[in-house]
Amino acid sequence: MANLKEIRNRISSVSSTMQITSAMKMVSAAKLKKAQDAITAMRPYADKLTELLQSLSASLDADSGSTFADNRPVNKVLVVAITSNRGLCGAFNTNIIKQCAILTDEIHAGKQVDFVAIGKKGNDILGKKSTVLANHSQVFDELTFENVAAIAEELMELFKDGSYDKIELVYNKFKNAATQIVLTEQFLPIVPLDSTESSNADYIFEPSKMEIVEQLIPKSLKTQLYKAVRDSFASEHGARMTAMHKATDNATELRDQLKLTYNQARQAAITNEILEIVGGAEALNE
């Protein structure tokens, strides 16, 4: 059994850790509320905009000649991996890296797969074994539509000039504080709706279909990427809050066990001292 000083030091260390994890949990909970409200508010708009674009995509080639709907043979794939800049959020980043490995080794096996990292953790890990064209981790310092739109424009240009035949987003979709769903979402080329779904859409275009589509495509793609980053941002705080909650509970349990061990060791030491005193007194009496 460890001596009393060692146990006291461990209790002190665990208590300090518990205070840190508890504070991080409260900070993430406060940030989560704001991030959750933001993604919940923009989802209906983003989904409807994407639906409108997809309903038009069946006639994009004929009417607008848009290269963003060009389904060419896929030889080069660009994956946008959205992770976090900081750790201590459970399996949040690990799940994204695993999905990227599946895309590279299984789904797109035999093809050139490069990455664009949004988040420092993804850049650090993917950069060791894959080609990372750019790291946009600074976007989380000031998460605005304008900053994300600049990244979307770079991606659109890479697809437009033929550098890549397909661009996919990999990110955590926010469901609730305890649940994040890893999604692989096609960014380019534009995914059309099924013919059965698109046939139900009846739109009147003014001034013209071509002009509307030319403005709608960039805006829709920028909104799609912004929604993915917002989803990931909310998921990160939810994952961190859950991870820190579990860490605090584990630290509390460990501290209680150490206190029990400390009390047992202290009682054993006191008992031994009493026995020694009694034994010494009996020896003097004899």
* pLDDT for residue 70: 82
Give the 3-state secondary structure of residue 179. strand
Q: What is the mean pLDDT of residues 228-253?
A: 95
The residue with greater pLDDT, 212 or 72, is 72
- The 10s digit of each residue's pLDDT in 174-195 is 998 889 999 999 999 887 766 5
Which of 122-131, 143-152, 159-168, 212-221 has the weakest average pLDDT? 212-221
> Taking all residues of the chain, what is their mean pLDDT, rounded to a whole number?
88
Catalytic positions, please?
89
Give the 3-state secondary structure of residue 130. coil
Going by pLDDT thresholds of 50, 70 and 90, the confidence category of residue 63 is very low
* pLDDT for residue 281: 77
Going by pLDDT thresholds of 50, 70 and 90, the confidence category of residue 24 is very high
Domains of the chain as residue ranges with CATH: 33-243 (3.40.1380.10)
Q: Which residues contact 226 (CB under 8 A, 6 or more apart)?
A: 42, 46, 145, 148, 149, 152
Alpha-carbon distance 33 to 217, whole Å? Answer: 31
pTM (two decimals): 0.85
* pLDDT for residue 279: 81
